[in-house]
Amino acid sequence: MEQLQQNGVVVRSGIGGVKEVSEPLITILTEAIAEGATDVHLDPFAEGKYVRYRVDGVIHEKSPIPDVLRKRLLNQVKVLLDLDIDKSFIPQEGFISLEMDGVQHDMRVTIAPVGDRDAIHFRFLSSSRNLRDLVNLGMQDEDLQAVQKVIEAPYGLVLVAGGTGSGKTTTLYSLTNTLKQRNLIVMSIEDPVEFRLPRVRQLEVNEKRGFTMYEGLRVILRMDPDVILVGEIRDRESATTATRAGLSGQLVLATVHARNASMVIDALGSMDVPRYMIGGALRLVIQQNLVLRLCQACARESEPTAEDRELFDRHQVPVPQAVRRAVGCAECRGYGHKGRTAVFELTPVDQSLGHDIAGGIGTRELSSRFRQVRRASMAQDVLHKVAAGEVSADVAGDFIKSLGE
């Protein structure tokens, strides 16, 4: 892997090497890092390329790239990725790393045709960011204790559920990292590996070489694992294999794309995992999402409004004497918020609930059973964070509406 240093920034590329890196690209990526962006979008238009960053889940538009630099920047990105600059109008993908102030920032880069031009997307991977301990994820103390109790068990299936960009991978890594204190063989299969974990054998999917998620699981099961991490369950073979492993003596930690606990069962069922296997293996569903965190430098305290009080009362959370609201300052670049925090809903699966799942009860009845056994709902959890001054009442209200509660 070759590298180039420019203005104190080191850019590492693939085997093709780097001739030069354009100043606009360096500026775009370093500014994105400084603002804490997770994604950079370069979208074509008649006069050049739009530049947009996603920061804390929100898109922010920047100064566009003029057309005179558009083609040059595209070609240099392709050179960085060791791609053929003469190939156009086909999707291409690769990885680059940028080192700034001694910190490495890894990016997955995707180029896709949009009309007669190309759009470029940079996705910063988790390896660029600090790994959070389980205790720092933002769970209530009782929820944290429930999670720790489940992952101390020698076998079973723990699923982290949520939509795209809900922080599932961060939670999965934190769960896995907690296990490093025990003398266990921990292995993972991921697509891609987003964070290198100490003392964990991490395998990466490579579809081009025929190394699929399912093949990775088969290899792992032949290597005497105690704990298996599955980056995302998304096909029949890997879903069935992971669930069976949770039944047969391994602790399996995985993510699944689902909005709530009952939809987790539906998702596994749609991948042809038998209900008896799900009911026998599943130990815990961690449902989660992310909400904006108040900037602590400028948040303003105020009395709860009548609407705030109604929200707390409806979800049976004590109304605090004061709530905090967003203002905006230099520290948060005028946004009023800085970073995001996770909101959780935990559903432990005991023997009774496992029996109901295995018995094939309907979706409506299953949803009711999940509500009976779940710990604090996501609505309650976000309101506890309002009471603690971490989240604004306005953000919490909008979030609860999005849940339909």
Q: Is 221 helix (H, G, I), strand (E, B) or coil?
A: helix
Return the H-helix or E-strand segment holding 357.
helix 351-358
Question: Within 10 Å of residue 66's Cβ, how many Cβ atoms?
Answer: 11
Residue type, 353: L
Which CATH number does the domain 3-128 belong to among 3.30.950.10, 3.10.450.50, 3.30.450.90, 3.40.50.300? 3.30.450.90
Residue from 233, 163, 130 nearest 191 by CA: 233
Asked if the bond preceding 192 is cis, omega within 30° of 0, the reply is yes
So where are the chain's domains? 3-128, 134-403
Return the H-helix or E-strand segment holding 279.
helix 275-281
Q: Which residue ranges in the chain fall short of pLDDT 50?
A: 1-2, 4, 15-19, 128
CB 104 within 8 A of CB 127: yes
The span from the CA of 137 to the CA of 329, in Å, is: 26
The pLDDT value recorded for residue 1 is 43
The pLDDT value recorded for residue 12 is 65
CA distances from 366 to 266, 402, 405 (A): 10, 22, 18
In degrees, to the nearest 5, what angle opens at C-alpha 77 toward C-alphas 72 and 80? 125
Non-local (6+) Cβ contacts of 142 within 8 A are 375, 376
Kind of pairing, strands 186-190 and 58-66? Answer: unpaired
Helix axes 261-270, 363-373, angle to 10 degrees: 140
Q: Is the dihedral of CA 270, 276, 277, 278 positive or negative?
A: positive
User: What are the two backbone dihedrals, phi and then psi, of residue 286, each rounded to the nearest 5 degrees?
Assistant: -105, 105
Helix segments in 35-167, DSSP class H: 67-80, 141-151
Q: Is 126 helix (H, G, I), strand (E, B) or coil?
A: helix
The pLDDT value recorded for residue 19 is 42
pLDDT digits (tens, 9 = 90+) for 383-405: 999 999 999 999 999 999 999 87
Q: How is residue 82 written in tokens? A: 């060791």
Q: Which fold has domain 134-403?
A: Rossmann fold (3.40.50)
Helix segments in 59-126, DSSP class H: 67-80
The pLDDT value recorded for residue 16 is 44
The pLDDT value recorded for residue 15 is 45
Kind of pairing, strands 37-45 and 48-55? Answer: antiparallel
In degrees, to the nearest 5, what angle opens at C-alpha 226 toward C-alphas 177 and 351? 95
pLDDT digits (tens, 9 = 90+) for 361-384: 988 899 999 999 988 999 999 999
CB 122 within 8 A of CB 95: no
